[in-house]
Structure 1
Amino acid sequence: MGVRDKIRALFADTRPLRNGDFRRLWVANIVTVIGAQLTVVAVPAQIYAITGSSAMVGLTGIFGLVPLIVFGLWGGALADHFDRRRLLEITTTGLIVTSALFWLQSAAGVNNVWLLLGVFALQQAFFAVNQPTRVAILPKLLPDDELPAANALNMTVMSAGAIAGPLVGGALIPVIGYSWLYLIDTVTLFATLYAVWRLPSMPTAGQVGKAPGLRSVIDGLIYLSAHKILMLSFVVDLVAMIFGMPRALFPEIAHVSFGGPTEGGVEFALLYAAMPVGAVLGGVFGGWVSRVNRQGTAVLWAVGVWGLSMAAMGLAVGLAPWQMQLMLGVALAMLAVGGAADMASAAFRQSILLSATDDSVRGRLQGVFIVVVAGGPRLADVLHGWAGDVVGPGLATGLGGLLVVVGVAAIAVLFPAFRRYAIATAASRGPG
């Protein structure tokens, strides 16, 4: 391999972008994700500004988790029984409507926490159906060997939006208010709707027209229970997110630990953006993900690094009163390291799931995946919101990170088959 090839190998694998359908979805996400992240920042900031309580911000975890569980599982069943393109059209339209409702309540000056949480729950219901369907179509568009690269590219775009959104949103909240941020989110979602409309019809062979119910969901869970490797990939992520995701504490950390204003500001924006910065850097220099053979080991290492970075971030928050600016820099750096580790973990876990699952249950398994990936942080919001009020944000963050390290070490020791897992072994499709 020449010097030019070695340099090229450091950067992201862009082969999936040769596919026109994938490319349109990916490019649309560049715009849409920025708008979506404005709402991600605006909702907790608006709740904290109304109540001044991290525990109330943590309630977004409960109001987001319930629809994610119910509609994530059922949405996966829908994706295995109906045309996936049509399902994406319906749910993307639903996301547009709920974003418009956020705009309306803010523009009208309602400032009602329970209305905010109700609209948030409705939005998460549409999201819970949309996401498993969106990911389940990837093996229809791309070959297996391009799936890690495709997942890394998607994570990079989501993370890039998560940088721009918080930086712009957090800084602009005190200037233009919440309503404009919600309106931008509403408008940008039309880009994704167009990309979805351009997709070909995507029915699931032998399933179209059958009405999915509880039996269909149970069948998917039975399939999952027979595949230990898939189960463990979910468990690892739950450990990482529930104990190691302190985002519900960001408003308090920004205000109390680092001296930012209660309604947002630069410190708040930087905390939200730091983790996605790391994820983007991990994605840009993520050409290596396509060359890793033992994905199970890679997931364990990535989650371990995530836990250590969150523990160090908690220490920096605790030391903030003595060296505020220095400790803010350390906290941001640790969040960036965690973001890079999370990007790698997500790319490998998603690739394991897509390659080791039959297409007839892929939607349902993606439903479980979205429940875990999105539901874990919502449980973390509740846990960290409560723990932050009891022991303080620094200690809550640091202890959570250490619990992640302990948990992933236990999984590595107790389940050696997961350490040895490689995508090539999935060809048999047998229970693992």
Structure 2
Amino acid sequence: MARLRRDHFIDLRPFQVSPAFTRMWIGSTLAGLGGQLTIVAIMLHMFDLTGSTFAVSMVAFAGLVPMILAGLYGGMLADAFDRRRVALIAATVTFASTLLLAILAWGQLETVWWLYALSIVNSAANSIVMAARQSIVPRLIPRDLLPAASALGGITMGIMVMGGPALAGVLVAVSGYAWTYTIDVVLMLSLFLGLWTLPSIKPEGEIVRPGLESLKDGWRFLKRAGNIRLQFILDIIAMTFGHPIALFPAIGALLLGGGPITTGVLTASIAAGAFLSSLFSGPVGRVRRQGLGIERAIIAYGGAILAFGLVLGAAALGWFAPETVDAASPNVVLIIAAVLTLAAAGAADNVSAIFRNTMVLAAVPDSIRGRLQGIFIVVVAGGPRVGALYAGVLATATALWFPPLLGGLVIMGLVATLVRLSPRFQDYDAANPVP
């Protein structure tokens, strides 16, 4: 029984077999936490300078296209040069831009345009770091431990998303922006430790120099790689129709009550679900039919989003509500129900991410892995933003509860149909990875 319980916890063998992976994971986790501090601090800083929520929203929008372009170009660089060097140079750019933010804040020289410019530089450089770093992982650990490495990535993401925004709010309130940016600068030093101590990791196989031909070569491979292409499509479907985060402020104000506190709790519950699913991810690493694993995880995600929509529908009908629902009088029963559904969604999405990331790392040849990681970044970055547009437009035209309700049904129906039409994806075997 004790052995059974241990087998259900996260597999830590990647730490045991690869000190290099361990150092890179620690560095990435601490630097990611610091990066979240800066992202949130820039948004708060922008609002302090402008008093405009539009100006704050433009921080994320302005960095989207540079982030996508940098992710694609970073993938090409990772397939042409030493990946350790590519990651180090991009990390140096991120470090320099964050250090400049801190210097400007200490000197009270910051302006709106400086915040925009440096947030764009940060976003673009981080995309290159991510593309290069993920391409390195399969060179550090055995293939059978890639699911465990992906689960450890879920732990990193959970720490970043749960801890970063809350810590940033506290630091800005207590010590100000300059100290918050400075703490990120210090935390980023750990990323250099993780990358600097790696061996040289040059791509294997035929090398295509960065440029249009390299990008075309990546797209040609993706057209042939049906399993990889379908998992990208499935993730886009999940994020487009099942990403209701843009509705959380209105939900906290109008439906569930509790205001900003409810908004924060709902957001954190998704990260908490992801964190817990990684913590108990032992059985996930033993699943060989990872295509079916992706399908079932995304269908479970759609079911959880559907359940969230039903909770909101109950709130719209006034179930369990106090006489007046507002910031001071929340609907506690339905907030708890909403938290549980969103935690389930975060857990299911993380399980899907473990399978999807493992498939890309194991099935894609080393010579093209960086470019596929760049495309993966585009999918991960673009899907939630399209999802925010879907949720916002549909909620404006109908009601707050309708986008997640409809979206959950669409996710489950589309995913089940597309997978049924792809026998190769259903038969994908982790012991014999075929892209």
* TM-score scaled by length of structure 1: 0.87
Within the alignment, does 1:14 sit opposite 2:12 as a pair?
yes
Relative distance call for 1:48 and 1:244 in structure 2 (3 A) is farther
How far apart are 1:117 and its partner, in Å?
4.6
Contact (CA 8 Å) 2:241, 2:403: kept in 1 or not?
no
Matched residue SS, 1:137: helix
Unaligned 5+ segments in structure 1 are none
Which one of 236, 240, 243 corresponds to residue 241 of structure 2?
A: 243
Within the alignment, does 1:38 sit opposite 2:37 as a pair?
yes
Q: 2:408 — aligned with what?
A: 401
Within the alignment, does 1:376 sit opposite 2:374 as a pair?
no
- Higher RCO, 1 vs 2 (CA within 8 Å, ≥6 residues apart): 1
1:366-425 Cα offsets, whole Å, 9 max, x none, are 111111122222332344344444445443343333332232122123223212212223
Matched residue SS, 2:15: helix
Worse-matched range after superposition: 179-188 or 294-303: 179-188
Q: RMSD value over aligned CA atoms?
A: 2.8
Distance in 1 between residues matched to 2:398 and 2:172, nearest whole Å: 29
Matched residue SS, 2:134: helix
Q: 2:273 — aligned with what?
A: 278
Distance in 1 between residues matched to 2:394 and 2:56, nearest whole Å: 13
Which one of 218, 221, 225 corresponds to residue 219 of structure 2?
A: 221
Identity, % of aligned pairs?
Answer: 36
Counterpart of 2:151, as a letter, is: A
Contact (CA 8 Å) 2:292, 2:426: kept in 1 or not?
yes
Q: 1:295 — aligned with what?
A: 290
How far apart are 1:83 and its partner, in Å?
0.8
Within the alignment, does 1:366 sit opposite 2:373 as a pair?
yes
1:96-115 equivalence runs, <5 A: 96-100=95-99, 103=102, 108=108, 112=112
Counterpart of 1:325, as a letter, is: V
1:276-296 Cα offsets, whole Å, 9 max, x none, are 111111011100111101100
Q: 2:88 — aligned with what?
A: 89
Distance in 1 between residues matched to 2:56 and 2:312, nearest whole Å: 19
1:299-353 Cα offsets, whole Å, 9 max, x none, are 0111111122222223334544743222221222112111111111111011111
Matched residue SS, 1:423: coil
Distance in 1 between residues matched to 2:421 and 2:47, nearest whole Å: 41
Worse-matched range after superposition: 91-100 or 343-352: 91-100
Distance in 2 between residues matched to 1:244 and 1:45, nearest whole Å: 27
Relative distance call for 1:95 and 1:136 in structure 2 (3 A) is same
How far apart are 1:157 and its partner, in Å?
1.9
Worse-matched range after superposition: 242-251 or 333-342: 242-251
Which one of 404, 417, 420 corresponds to residue 427 of structure 2?
A: 420
Q: 2:362 — aligned with what?
A: 355
Larger Cα-atom Rg: 2
Matched residue SS, 1:371: helix
Counterpart of 1:121, as a letter, is: I
How far apart are 1:225 and its partner, in Å?
0.8
Within the alignment, does 1:151 sit opposite 2:158 as a pair?
no
Relative distance call for 1:170 and 1:34 in structure 2 (3 A) is same
Q: 2:201 — aligned with what?
A: 202
Distance in 1 between residues matched to 2:26 and 2:371, nearest whole Å: 26
Worse-matched range after superposition: 234-243 or 412-421: 412-421
1:135-160 Cα offsets, whole Å, 9 max, x none, are 11111101110111111111112212
Q: 1:71 — aligned with what?
A: 70
Q: 1:325 — aligned with what?
A: 332
* TM-score scaled by length of structure 2: 0.86
Matched residue SS, 2:347: helix
How far apart are 1:32 and its partner, in Å?
2.2
Worse-matched range after superposition: 288-297 or 246-255: 246-255
Contact (CA 8 Å) 2:28, 2:194: kept in 1 or not?
no
Contact (CA 8 Å) 1:61, 1:377: kept in 2 or not?
no
Contact (CA 8 Å) 2:72, 2:371: kept in 1 or not?
yes
Contact (CA 8 Å) 2:70, 2:128: kept in 1 or not?
yes
Distance in 1 between residues matched to 2:249 and 2:109, nearest whole Å: 21
Contact (CA 8 Å) 1:251, 1:268: kept in 2 or not?
yes
Worse-matched range after superposition: 320-329 or 184-193: 320-329
Contact (CA 8 Å) 1:64, 1:378: kept in 2 or not?
no
User: How many residues of Structure 1 are paired with residues of Structure 2 in the alignment?
Assistant: 420
Q: 1:336 — aligned with what?
A: 343
